[in-house]
Structure 1
Amino acid sequence: MQVKEIKSKGLKHEFQVTVPSTFIEKKMVERLEYHGRSIRISGFRPGKIPLDVLKKRYGAAVRNEVIEEVIKESNQKVIQEKNLRPALQPQVKINSEKEGADLDYVMTFEALPEIKTPKLDKYSFEKLGASVDKKQIDKSLKNLSQGYKGREDHKPDHKASKGDVVVIDFDGRLEDGKKIEGGSGKNVELELGSNSFIPGFEDQLIGSKAGDDVKVKVPFPKDYHAKELAGKSAEFAVTVNKVQKTVEPKIDDEFAKKLGIESAEKLEKIISDKLKDEYARMSFLLSKRAVLDKLAEDNKFEVPETLVENEFNVIWEEIKKEHKAEESNPKKKKTEKSEDLEDPKLKQQYKDIAERRVRLGLLLAEIGRENKIDVTQKELEKAILEQARQYPGQEKMVFDYFREHPHALASLKAPIFEDKVIELILQKAKINEKTVTFEELEKAVIEITQGDDAE
């Protein structure tokens, strides 16, 4: 085999590879003889079929197999000898593969850069943290109790106000007296102030009492989904059957037992532990961004253009989907202007993001490799289980999907690996811990995550 490097510019490499025809023919004979042991051809005993007969019948197919195998082996040999690591599978252009002639082809690829990893103990980072206080526990308990609210009737003379629930019968008709299809109901529960009905409908029930009959006059919005009603005026005959108030449950042992927890004290402990986990996650997100920003600032090296282009295409497809969703959103204000996807400055912005992601990904991978960081089977199984929990009743389908699709499993493995490398960096770096309020911690997280694709 002869190898000639015809291009070497930065990370781009191009090699011309020539494999002697004698080597190809030898491989073909070996492959034909191997297949000949099991092939059955009328008039010949198994294993005794002449080579020229095998070649005539199967030569073309076997030659393709051999060429593919030889190119794969030759590429691997060239890469090893040149001590290079391709960023992606090498591209191959065959110049000659005719029978009796040498195999001549060109292999092109971008190599991964040589990365000099930084000394991790030279870094120092501020770590924000917040303590769980009674105020946050009480707020979480209150939010939890909202799903278990009850209702009870107000006194007969109570006048309905916002926040009350009225139980009504109603019958709606247009100005010409025509009955509105779907515009009537019996014992319908309506929370005043919820804006569940046509604008203005609920306001006219404020001040009503149980047993009242109310005439509600409202226009349908001009952009109402039913075009035959859009912009038309209507009148609803409404009977108020009940006026009810919302009753929040008392957070006590009885409430805890409804949730399958033995006591209110135990419930508070569970809430407190969940908040601690959430605060720790938020703190890690902030630390992770600080680490990534510092690594990006300190480590400049050439990255493979193909990897950047692939990453940009992934980002850009998401941007286009979001843009399409915005354009088709009927609630979007006419004065709003979405990003111009043809703007070269916008594309360059996202290409810069793609390059940052690729560079950080390569750097973190190298740090992880040097420190022998890996994702365990147990960690992967936990990640799959978390995915499966999002689809109750379809858990087996989720597990089967990840088992049958290695690329999907890799998409779960990548963020776990990345977080483990970040944790390693934080362990080796100097950390200045700072306690802040939950509100300050939350604000800091929002600032780095809201509308930010830089990670």
Structure 2
Amino acid sequence: MQVTETLAEGLKRELKVVIPASELASRLDTYLDDLKDKVKIKGFRPGKVPAAHLKRLYGRQATAEILNELLNETTRKAVEERNEKPALQPEIDLPDGDAEAILSGSADISFKMSYDILPEFELIDFKTVEIERPVVEISDAEIDEQIAQIADNNKPFETKDGAAEDGDRVLMSYLGKLDGTPFDGGADENGQLVLGSKQFIPGFEEQLVGLKAGDEKVIEVSFPEDYPAKHLAGKAVTFDIVVKEVQAPGEVKIDDDFAKGLGLEGLDKLKEIIRGQIESQYGAMTRQKVKRQLLDKLDEVYTFDLPERLVQSEFDGVWRQVEQDMQRSGKSFEDEETTEEEARGEYRKIAERRVRLGLVLSEVGEQNQVKVTDEEVQRALYDKVRQFPGQEKQVFDFYRSNPTALASLQAPIYEEKVVDYILELAKVTDKTVTKDELMAEDEDEG
């Protein structure tokens, strides 16, 4: 094998590789010699099939397979001998005109391989990184508020005489019509709705106020412009309503008996569970803020050339998602007060940031031997499987038989473990914030 460097510009590399035709011929002879003891051909005893006959029957197919193996093998070897780390699998350019001559064994294998190498950079001392961790102190009032909400959702309703009022529950049948024709999903014989809950489309609940059991009414409403069902979005419709019963809400006493009705030992246990749920919720938001701060700081510190093809691959993935989201929402770039060119520029920056931070985190993990265990991947797989009830076996088999898909489960685990490693070294100080401040920060960050 002869390797000649034809381009070394920044992170870009191009090599010309020549493999003598004799190498392909030698491997073909070895392949056919092994094959003659395995194949059964009418008119020949096992192991006695002439090589020339085998070559006529299997030579072209075998040559193609061996050629593919040779290209992969020499590509890998060429990179290893140069002690380089390609950002992606090198691209191979084998001129179409040479293929026939190569397969016939009359020409050397000459091809071009091109790739981007990974950039080299020094890791900073992470002890110099300062992170402010927002922490929310959970008050008894917040816990009581959550319990009051649970009580409100579990309050009893009793049949009442008279007109429906805000807070009452209306049992009814309804039939939705668009231009006088019933539409899918717009009917229910046993619907129920708590007035004021805002569960139905705007304007629906308000028109039920004042109705009594046995009343019939046709109400007119319009679906929101962003309604998921495109054929109904923004459309004016009618609903034929028949009120079957009106129920008034009862009172709920929050005490041990209430908690026991939820299957718990008592009110203290309910408060303990609610506190734990709130802590988990705020903890996840705090983690998000801390990670965002860390990544922002790393993005500020590290500036190095990026492998163009890696960036382009990341951008392509981001842009596909953008186009899919816009198609689903029915919006245009003009609706977002931008242009496609401007949007591409912004998402290009996002792709570059992701690639840069991904390379930094990967280097941190590699230098410090951060590993993802089989048990961690297994837990992630089971979590994914549980998201598809009834299809557990198909999902499990898909990931088990697809290394790329399984790697997609491993990647976020690895990233979180590397982030944890850095945060253990960084100077992290707690800052007490309110719930609203934590939520506001989340909205500001998008």
TM-score (norm 1): 0.82
User: 1:195: Cα distance to partner?
Assistant: 6.6
Match of 2:140 among 125, 134, 138: 134
Distance 1:104 1:312 in 2: 32
Tell me whether 242-251 or 287-296 shows the greater mean CA deviation: 242-251
Q: Note the alpha carbon deviations across 1:38-70, whole angstroms, 9 max, x for none.
A: 011223222222222222221111111221111
Residues 1:302 and 2:286 aligned together: no
Distance 1:373 1:232 in 2: 58
SS of residue in 1 equivalent to 2:94:
strand
Contact 2:203–2:221 (Cα < 8 Å) also in 1: no
Q: Note the alpha carbon deviations across 1:365-402, whole angstroms, 9 max, x for none.
A: 11111111111112112222222333334433332232
Q: Name the CA shift for 1:400/1:142 in 2 (closer, same or farther; >3 Å).
A: farther
User: 1:415: Cα distance to partner?
Assistant: 1.2
SS of residue in 1 equivalent to 2:124:
coil
Q: Which amino acid aligns with 1:432?
A: T
The residue aligned with 2:265 is 262
Match of 1:371 among 347, 368, 371: 368
Match of 2:424 among 427, 435, 446: 427
User: 1:311: Cα distance to partner?
Assistant: 1.1
Match of 1:161 among 149, 161, 165: 165
Mapping 1:34-433, distance limit 5 Å: 34-95=34-95, 96=98, 97=102, 98-154=104-160, 156=161, 160-167=164-171, 189-193=192-196, 203=206, 206-207=209-210, 242-247=245-250, 249-327=252-330, 337-339=334-336, 343-433=340-430
Q: Name the CA shift for 1:383/1:147 in 2 (closer, same or farther; >3 Å).
A: farther
The residue aligned with 1:453 is none
Residues 1:446 and 2:437 aligned together: no
Distance 1:354 1:42 in 2: 60
Q: Note the alpha carbon deviations across 1:312-342, whole angstroms, 9 max, x for none.
A: 11111111112112227xxx9xxx9523785
The residue aligned with 2:434 is 437
Aligned residues: 430
The residue aligned with 1:176 is none
Q: Name the CA shift for 1:257/1:398 in 2 (closer, same or farther; >3 Å).
A: farther
RMSD (CA atoms): 3.6
Distance 1:148 1:109 in 2: 62
Distance 1:385 1:10 in 2: 43
Q: Name the CA shift for 1:307/1:48 in 2 (closer, same or farther; >3 Å).
A: same
Q: Which amino acid aligns with 1:18?
A: V
Tell me whether 386-395 or 421-430 shows the greater mean CA deviation: 386-395
User: 1:425: Cα distance to partner?
Assistant: 0.8
Distance 2:280 2:66 in 1: 57
Contact 2:172–2:241 (Cα < 8 Å) also in 1: no
Contact 2:137–2:434 (Cα < 8 Å) also in 1: yes
Contact 2:204–2:221 (Cα < 8 Å) also in 1: no
User: 1:356: Cα distance to partner?
Assistant: 0.7
Tell me whether 97-106 or 243-252 shows the greater mean CA deviation: 243-252
Distance 1:64 1:165 in 2: 74
User: 1:184: Cα distance to partner?
Assistant: 11
Q: Name the CA shift for 1:395/1:184 in 2 (closer, same or farther; >3 Å).
A: closer
Unaligned 5+ runs, structure 2: none
User: 1:37: Cα distance to partner?
Assistant: 1.4
Distance 1:381 1:186 in 2: 45
Tell me whether 258-267 or 415-424 shows the greater mean CA deviation: 258-267
Contact 1:148–1:248 (Cα < 8 Å) also in 2: no
SS of residue in 2 equivalent to 1:5:
strand
Q: Name the CA shift for 1:418/1:165 in 2 (closer, same or farther; >3 Å).
A: same
Q: Note the alpha carbon deviations across 1:192-245, whole angstroms, 9 max, x for none.
A: 34577898775566456x67x868576566999999xx97999x897x775422
SS of residue in 2 equivalent to 1:383:
helix
Q: Which amino acid aligns with 1:374?
A: K
Distance 1:168 1:57 in 2: 77
Unaligned 5+ runs, structure 1: 173-178, 451-455
Q: Name the CA shift for 1:251/1:48 in 2 (closer, same or farther; >3 Å).
A: farther
Q: Name the CA shift for 1:382/1:254 in 2 (closer, same or farther; >3 Å).
A: farther
Tell me whether 314-323 or 270-279 shows the greater mean CA deviation: 270-279
SS of residue in 2 equivalent to 1:39:
coil
Q: Name the CA shift for 1:54/1:163 in 2 (closer, same or farther; >3 Å).
A: same
Contact 1:153–1:244 (Cα < 8 Å) also in 2: yes
Distance 2:325 2:119 in 1: 34
User: 1:92: Cα distance to partner?
Assistant: 1.2
Q: Name the CA shift for 1:86/1:341 in 2 (closer, same or farther; >3 Å).
A: farther
SS of residue in 1 equivalent to 2:39:
coil
Distance 1:296 1:76 in 2: 32
Contact 1:18–1:102 (Cα < 8 Å) also in 2: yes
User: 1:145: Cα distance to partner?
Assistant: 3.7
Distance 2:117 2:36 in 1: 41
TM-score (norm 2): 0.84
Distance 2:268 2:216 in 1: 51
Distance 1:187 1:94 in 2: 68
Q: Note the alpha carbon deviations across 1:242-290, whole angstroms, 9 max, x for none.
A: 5422236444444434443333322222222222222222111111001
Distance 1:232 1:377 in 2: 55
Contact 2:94–2:112 (Cα < 8 Å) also in 1: yes
